[in-house]
Each structure stands twice: as structure tokens, then as C-alpha cells.
Structure 1
Amino acid sequence: MNIPKSSYIDLGPLKEEVEGNTVICKMLINSFIKDIDSYVNTMTNEIQATDFTGLYHVAHKIIPSLRIFRVEKLEPVMLELEKDLRGLNNLEEIKTKIYFSLKVFSQVKVELQNEIIRIDDAAT
């Protein structure tokens, strides 16, 4: 299957960390996909409810995964979002950053799913 290369994620360091163990790599990718689904659902609900405390906790929780999966285009935005939510600064910017993150996370999820397909294809 011809799957385009990723533009948001870099799994090189993760693959090195798991020493090429594709089972562990797939497990971590699937776990992050579940985290993305949870993030998207929670952020969507919390922004509609204007629950800034809930938004802060969700943004804070996802940052380590962004580092592990090297989502470098999103990590700085999420760090700014976390800071803005902590101080309730720039409410319009908060919404802009949340909507941007939701858009990027949808693409990241597709790229992770494609990576699982690549791993499976390589195993057969």
C-alpha cells in the first residue's frame, strides 16, 4: 500500500527507544491514538462549557505524548495554550489555539494510523 510520509510526527526516536520492537511501537501508537480521541472529545466539550480548568488539565496531560511522538508543530502551541489557560490570558487566543490543535490532532491521528499500516505491511 502506498501511504504518504508523515508531516506532523517523527517516530524515529520512539523506534530507537523501543529498539525496533514493532509490537511495543504499535501498542504505544494505539495508546496515543486513544489519547488523541479523548483529547479531542474533552477539549470539544470543555470549550463549549467554557471550563478553563478542565481545558488546562487536558492540555497539560497531552504535552508529554507530543514530545514522545515528536509532534513538533503542535508542542509549542500546546505549551502556550497551557500557559494561557493557567493565567486565563488571551481568551480569544485560547480558542484559536484549541481549534488549531484539534485540526492538527486529526491529521496526527491519520498519520499514526498510516504508520500502523506500514508496520503491518512490513511484517507480512
Structure 2
Amino acid sequence: MIYSLDKINEMAEGDQDFINSVVSVFLEEVPQDLEALEIAIKQKDFSNIYQLAHKIKPNVDLLGMEQTRATALEIETLGKSKATISEITEKFPLLKKDIHQVISELKKDFPVS
């Protein structure tokens, strides 16, 4: 398992509805943001690359995905500094793989009721 509910559990203080809500928002928003980020990278749209990586970062952080958060931060920084697109395209597959793996795990662990 590459995610952890420790931060969410701490915030939720036993409120399972809150936990379910956070997971639901993650499953709804992050795949869309990831897809938009991939498009922004293909279009070399540095402003959107920065904004989307910035938006993804706290969501993966909330799930204790430290490595994924670090990758999102790198992409965010590269987007902001308008680095070479090759550096961003090199890092994006790792972000995408980790997020897709977590989405798959979350769907198994939190079946839609």
C-alpha cells in the first residue's frame, strides 16, 4: 500500500464520513487534474503545469504519499521556472503511475456505497 490514512484519521477524529468524503474528493478530482496536467505538458503550457501540479500536491500529501508529493513538487517547481519540458516529461510518468496505483487501491478499500 503506497498511501496512508494517518493524516486523515488525525484530522477526522473518528469521523468515518469525513474520511469517506476526503477519499471521494480525491477519486473525483485528482484523476481529472492528472489528465489536465498531461495535456498541459503536451502543450508545453508551463503556467497550467505549475497550477495543476500545485493542486495535486496537497491531495497526495493528505494520503501520506511522500514520494508522490515530492514528484508533484518537482513538476510544480519546473513548471514555475519554465524549465525544459524534457525534465517535466521525465518525471510525469512516475507521478501518473503512483496516482493510478493509489486510485486503484482506494477503489478497492473504499467501495462506492
Same fold, TM-score > 0.5, yes or no: yes
Counting matched residue pairs gives 113
Select 2:12's aligned residue among 3, 12, 18. Answer: 18
Q: Which runs of 5+ in 2 are unaligned?
A: none
Match of 2:41 in 1: 47
Match of 1:115 in 2: 109
In 2: Cα distance, 1:78 partner to 1:34 partner: 18
Name the SS for the 1:74 alignment partner. Answer: helix
- Structure 1 position 60, deviation (Å): 0.8
1:87 maps to a residue whose letter is S
Name the SS for the 1:73 alignment partner. Answer: helix
Name the SS for the 1:81 alignment partner. Answer: helix
Name the SS for the 1:88 alignment partner. Answer: coil
Any residues of structure 2 matched to 1:1-124 within 5 Å, and which?
Answer: 6=1, 8-117=2-111
TM-score (norm 1): 0.81
- Structure 1 position 63, deviation (Å): 1.2
Identity of aligned residues (%): 23
- Structure 1 position 79, deviation (Å): 1.2
In 2: Cα distance, 1:58 partner to 1:41 partner: 10
2:63 maps to a residue whose letter is F
